[in-house]
Amino acid sequence: MEQHIIYLDNNATTVMHEDVIEAVHEAHILYGNASSMHGLGRASAQAIEESRLAIADLIDCSPKEVIFTSGASEANNTVFSTIRERIDLGSKRDRMITTTIEHPSIIETVKYLKSRGYKIDECPVDGTGMIDLEAFKTLLGEDVALVSVMTGNNEIGTIQPIREIAQLSHAVGALVHTDATQAIGKIEVSMREMDVDYLSLSGHKFYGPKGIGVLAVKTKAPFSPLVHGGHQEGGRRAGTYNTASIVGIGVAARLAKADLQEEHDRLWSLREMLREGIEESIPNVVVNGNQQHCLPGTLDVSFPHAEGESILLYLDMEGIMVSTGSACASGSLEPSYVLLASGVDIELAHGSIRFSFGRYNTADDVAYVLEKLPPIIKRLREMSTR
């Protein structure tokens, strides 16, 4: 009998859209180096600039502000490296602020910088993963160089008030960065509206290729290259252009822009269908994150007296693919630091599962999960009490 395959781990990565696959395949004939002045080089360069326009249109910025990178992790590190260099050069603004629930590419960068003596404050969040604005205000001061807060959380989906954070930060002269990776293609993301100085994203989170991303840098915002060695991207990011992947992320951006509202509504509908079904069919569950300000398609649920890894493996045997947290932090049996930072009890954190929907999921997928999940939880809870 053919097994169902239900992919509900879209926050970890998405399948490439068929139009993206076709575009990437066709772009491989553009073998000229985009930095070359001859005809083949110019053809590659033109394709790259068309993608730059598509990205700029998607996130509402100038094409000149778009820098192609290998992904959001590189983009995030570039921002912190830029501020670090300014501090090393003697800037009186020598402190940075972020939150306790950022992506590992920022959490680990912060750990490293702290070990080297840099001053970084991590603002707490409330029980729903929302930044504690009162605590944030007390951290602000004339010595703050950078504030970095993600737009939407990759594990619990909580959406932060980035515009308000930016206004408060700019009032004391600080620069503002947001990692918008999880928000792209799910909610409207406008660099101008949020009024941020830096914005990061990755192509593979919205049906584009892996290994390609963007750092958008507001005109006149300070910038120092992380990768030196060439004149690409106006000298801001060296390395031969990954033309095919850049073409792919451009197609993904155009699709995301065109389908945004429809995709938002559909993903939210599927999320709510699953949430309501779980709460009706399984006793004693806890839905994590902010339920009013949440990315559509992201549902994080804790199942007391059932361990998350066991739930994941049982679901996997039924062809249902989910996550116990961020894929970037996988390989560890430690409970989610995002949930712990939100004040979730360690047992609940250990028993959490993240369901993340994408454009290829359907109501039938939800029905199948609701058929298979309740008996799995019942079985695991019975085993835990023996």
**Which residues have a catalytic role annotated?**
328
**Which residues share a beta bridge with 213?**
69, 202
- The single residue listed with the structure tokens 């501090």 is 87
Residue 40 CA to residue 18 CA, distance in Å, equals 26
E-assigned strands of the chain?
A: 6-7, 66-69, 95-99, 119-123, 144-148, 175-179, 198-202, 213-217, 286-288, 298-302, 320-321, 352-356
- The single residue listed with the structure tokens 């998350």 is 308
All residues at 6 or more sequence positions from 93 whose CB lies less than 8 Å from its CB, including other chains: 86, 87, 142, 143, 144, 145, 173, 174
- The single residue listed with the structure tokens 């079904």 is 277
Residue 259 CA to residue 251 CA, distance in Å, equals 12
- The single residue listed with the structure tokens 């006793």 is 283
Query: Residue 111: in which H helix or E strand, if any?
Result: helix 104-115
* Token couple for 88: 């090393």
Residue 195 CA to residue 360 CA, distance in Å, equals 33
Residue 116 CA to residue 174 CA, distance in Å, equals 22
Residue 34 CA to residue 46 CA, distance in Å, equals 8
* Token couple for 7: 């992919």
